[in-house]
Amino acid sequence: DARVTQTPRDKVTEMGQEVTMRCQPILGHNTVFWYRQTMMQGLELLAYFRNRAPLDDSGMPKDRFSAEMPDATLATLKIQPSEPRDSAVYFCASGPSGGTDTQYFGPGTRLTVL
């Protein structure tokens, strides 16, 4: 049963530290999305890729967040330096192409910045 995997599942860190979250999309999927779940805004899109190329990262604070896909099996979301307001659950999702195609979500990384 193919699934999106994310690591770590939980991360507690101190303000100012670098945090890297990893995602392995479902094999064969060519779109990858990063979302953040917050109490106020529900699921907000941070960035997405198609065929490893970044298509839109307008939802991401550029000064501290960066997203990359070093290869087709790995997507990373990095926060440097982290701040308490970054505390949230970060979801990765992958899909065959986007648009009408279903996105499949990973289990999420729960980040707590103290």
List the interface residues with other proteins, window 3-62 (CB under 8 A). 31, 33, 41-45, 48, 50, 55-56
The helix (run of H) or strand (run of E) holding residue 90 is: strand 88-95
For residue 2, give the amino acid letter: A
Q: Does 102 contact other proteins by CB under 8 A?
A: yes
Give the length of the chain: 114
Q: Does 104 contact other proteins by CB under 8 A?
A: yes
Q: Does 105 contact other proteins by CB under 8 A?
A: yes
List the interface residues with other proteins, window 68-87 (CB under 8 A). none
Identify the sign of the CA torsion 20, 109, 35, 50: positive
Nearer to other proteins, 34 or 79 (CB): 34
- In contact, 47 and 103? CB cutoff 8 Å: no
Nearer to other proteins, 81 or 107 (CB): 107
3-state secondary structure of 6: strand
Residues at the contact surface with other proteins, assessed by CB under 8 A = 31, 33, 41-45, 48, 50, 55-56, 91, 97-108
